[in-house]
Amino acid sequence: MASEPPAQITVFACDPTNILPTNPPRPCSSLLTDEESICYLRIDKTKTRDRKRALRRMVVKYGIRTAQVGKSAMYPLDELKRVIAAKCNEHGKGGGA
């Protein structure tokens, strides 16, 4: 009997900051919806009752620029990374992104 060749595994290089912390983790695009942004910023892990309102407050506080796509506001990933870096600096933990 001939042995079968081993299964091939394809591995893609990916920036770990471009991953949504879902279960299982999944890559995210450069524009995120409300729900994806809430997940990326981990607002969903807080005790906040109104997560979309918390996201809107962050938009105002940190001046997050949005992109209008149809009737939806989309959040550029680079803007969300900037907010995370600002929050880290705000709490004296150094910068990221």
Residues 28 and 79 sit within 8 Å (Cβ to Cβ): no
Query: pLDDT confidence of 19, banded at 50, 70, 90?
Result: confident
pLDDT digits (tens, 9 = 90+) for 23-81: 788 888 899 999 999 999 989 888 888 999 999 999 999 999 999 999 999 999 999 99
Read off the DSSP letter of residue 24: S
pLDDT exceeds 80 at position 93: no
Tell whether omega for the bond before 24 is within 30 degrees of 0, i.e. cis: yes
Query: pLDDT confidence of 12, banded at 50, 70, 90?
Result: very low
pTM for the model stands at: 0.71
pLDDT exceeds 70 at position 15: no
CA distances from 95 to 4, 20, 22, 28, 44 (A): 50, 20, 24, 22, 22
**What does the pLDDT read at residue 45?**
85
CA–CA separation, 31 and 9 (whole Å): 29
- Where do the structural domains in the chain lie, given as residue ranges? 30-90
